[in-house]
Every structure is written in C-alpha cells, then in structure tokens.
A = this chain, B = another copy of it.
Amino acid sequence: MEITLGLAALKLVGYGLATFGPGLGIGIACYGCCMATARQPELQGRLFTNFIIGAALAEALGLIGFVLAFIV
C-alpha cells in the first residue's frame, strides 16, 4: 500500500503568495512616483530613479519566488 500526495501544485500557491506584496508594492511606488512628478516636474529624473530602485527591490522578491519553485 502506498499513499502519494502530489503536492507539487503547492509550489504555485507559494508563488502566488510571493507575488502579493511585490505586486501591490510596485503599484504603490508607481502611484507615489506619478504624484510626486506632477508636484515637482523638474525632479522627474530623480523621482523616476527612486521609483525604479524601489520597484526593482520589490520585483526581485517576486522573481526569487519563481526561481525557488524550481529549486525546492
């Protein structure tokens, strides 16, 4: 007798949870970047840099979850 639970699909559940924070965070960062650019147009380059750094840091957490699905 052998009982096998194929729980590989749980990986996708894990990835799904992993995208929650980053996806929401990128949206909030983008929102702040747009609003700040509208208030101080001459700073658009600097604000965009800030936004990209923040979005990249958050995106990295999501992409690591994608990589982790193959390692674990």
Contact = CB atoms under 8 A, between A and B. Distances in A.
Interface in A24-52: 24-44, 46-48, 50-52
Interface in A1-59: 1-44, 46-48, 50-55, 57-59
Interface residues of A, number: 68
Contacts of A24: 20-25, 27-28
Contacts of A60: 59
B50 A53 contact: no
**How many monomers of this chain does the complex have?**
5
A48 B25 CA distance: 17
A62 to B, nearest CB: 4
A16 B8 contact: no
